[in-house]
Structure 1
Amino acid sequence: MSWTRAPLEELASAIDYGITASANFSEGEAKFLRITDIQDNSVDWAKVPYCDAPPKKLANAMLADGDIVFARTGATTGKSFLLKATPKNAVFASYLIRVRPTAKIDSGYLAHFFNTDDYWGQIRAKAQGAAQEGVNASKLASLEIPLPPLDEQKRIAAILDKADQLRQKRRQAIALLESLTQSIFLEMFGDPIGNPNGFEAVELDGLVDRKRGISYGIVQRGGEFSGGIQVLRIGDILDGEVRIDGLVRTDPQIASKFQRTRLLGGELVISIRGTVGRCAIVPETLTNANVSREIAVIPSLERERNEFHLALLRTESAQRRLRDDVKGVAQSGINLEDLRKLPIIRPPLDMVEKFLHICSKLSSQRSRVKLFDELGEKTFSSLQHRAFSGQL
């Protein structure tokens, strides 16, 4: 079935930028939604900061149910989020673009379209060529949207909503296993920052290969370079793992200038700008890849303890310590010097080995659940393709 297509600007009453303001976590005139507050297609409004701005600016940026916001720059360029159960007096930051759909299109249908290969192909084409990937409001407005009758839009959205609920349940099972690892860590070792057990502790910098040190990656990687060097970005780190499916590539000549962050496999990586604190162990399959400037590479000398160190970095107290070190407003992040000083506890080896043995068993369980999740993702992708090609 062939549907007409229309530019997004004909289907939206507003495609606009948010406001520039300082985030305040204690008080303010309105909740201040930022790119970093949108995680795994959800927002924990209790953790979203406040902001103050002139009344007219606040009124123009006020969010409502059915609005869709987009990340317009950085590693998450093109990621979108459909507003539901929006709190009163919530506005959005300038690094987001808001689309407010008209009655011509169902917001749920449009939100699902913004996850299709069709959409991402258009976004990548429009984002290329800039020193830092991004899309502006005019580029977003020119996106071509397939436009079936409104009743069909709502039917498609309802079907995909139900399928997405099943996806979320599988991911909740994976998250439960992840939280179990954290619970076991805390039970065995306690708060790694407060260190109530009095374990020996050293600074993170004391555990790394001195020839490489802790460094951040490529500052300006340029556009996509076919056959080039793979580059790991913040969006490629999720739930303590590196996702290799969506890696971008850069010119080998650009990558060659950042030898200290050339990956060998087995390093720890952690995001230090924007969404601070995402961390993972680099798989061996990424040997010779590199990282973006938003990520620091930690070339550990104790790879046999990597899982222990990863679990430590993912604890709430370690994440809170990292957040406390964040500086800046528009481009917030942590300095490498602060990261190097992060305290790392050194429990007895037999305790660490026991923990690693438990981690190995939990990892096997996660692998089985993720296998089902991957099969489910393929089914969902097929359903999504059929939905937007008129085959449902």
Structure 2
Amino acid sequence: MTRSTTDEAAVPPLPSPKERRRLREAKSLSEEEVAAAVGVTRATVRSWETGRTSPRGRKRALYAKLIAPEPAVKPRVVKPPAVTPEAAAAAVVVPEAVPEATDLPETPPAAPPADPPPAPAPAPISDTRSGAEAPDERRVSPAEAFDELYARTAPGLVRQTYLLTGRRALARESVERAFELAWQRWPEVAVDRDPAGWVRAAAYEYAMSPWHRLRRTHRQPDAPPTEPGKRALFDALLDLPPAYRRTLLLYDGVGLDLPETAAETEASTPAAAGRLMTARAAVAERLPELADAAPAEQSALLHDRIGGLARAEHVPVPRPARAVRTGSENKARLWTRAAVAGVALLIAVTGLTLHTAPTHYEPPISPPERVGGVPPRGGPQKLTAQDLKLQKSLSEQLAHGPERLVPRLE
């Protein structure tokens, strides 16, 4: 085992991305301060808090130590004063009968209770290392835990997604796809601090994808409510930009606080506050009763109005949890088989190419072409009479300048 592996094993596991951001803001640390302390950029810290990447090595240890929660202060144990022999003798001659107990008060009460309440039984402690459980604790299977989460959150989540998109079919599709993704990553979702928030974030991301505009069934929103007040609120929500609409729905509709809203929308807390105020002002222009209300009253009124709008609208009921789990498993199985088939096809094509490819280079044969006229003479040929006469005259005449050197064979 290398030294880096040993160091990473010694560092405690990091919390979930949302919990990392909450712990940082609880200590009043900005992203720039954390980046300067760890030795990275602000974008890297933001990617750690959104779950895109995770720190490693020395930076992981520094980051874990920086955002670690403050240890709980242990209560101070006050030792009882030492009992002298005189005090012990005085205690023996007390006429009242003292009940046997391990901890007695220093000053006995004036009138002791007739029937003291029994001491609470200690809570069972489960050994996580050996997997021991309490006698009355029932083990819940992953499928049962998933079905319980689905039954508790899926119907309300469909209504929330409908208010976010204005499309009933898309709302149901988004929620079902988010739960399919959650079942594929259930070991990660099950240990998350807020599994319902994990699914909600996945459903919102899928529902707000701009690619749905290319689909014929989701190009236009569904018909708005017929009641004037609800229709005004519905139109005001859909006229907001997607990021502002999501912030308003999470804060005033779902009831999250501002740091959690900012973490789920992947924005800073001041940016989320600015989006919330802008969205409230835009909705207040459509709803006169919100214009003169205080911020706290606006939040309460919007919470009631959004909740009433979500409950009044008829949205499709999501499929049963078993069907969602089966669909998720079928999709995962299909993608796995497609990946295996693609790899097998690639291996077959590579083998066929290696088998049929030539082992040496063969220059291509140039295409034939027609030659016109008399071909030029090339190479040694028999000299004609004219050539012999010219050669003789050149050998007999001297060139201008010094006499040429003629090599001779000896």
Settle same-fold status: TM greater than 0.5.
Answer: no
Higher helix share: 2
Which TM class, normalised by the smaller chain length?
A: under 0.3
Structure with higher Rg: it is: 2
Higher strand share: 1
Normalization by structure 1: what TM-score? 0.20
Normalization by structure 2: what TM-score? 0.19
Larger relative contact order (Cα-Cα within 8 Å, sequence gap ≥ 6): 1
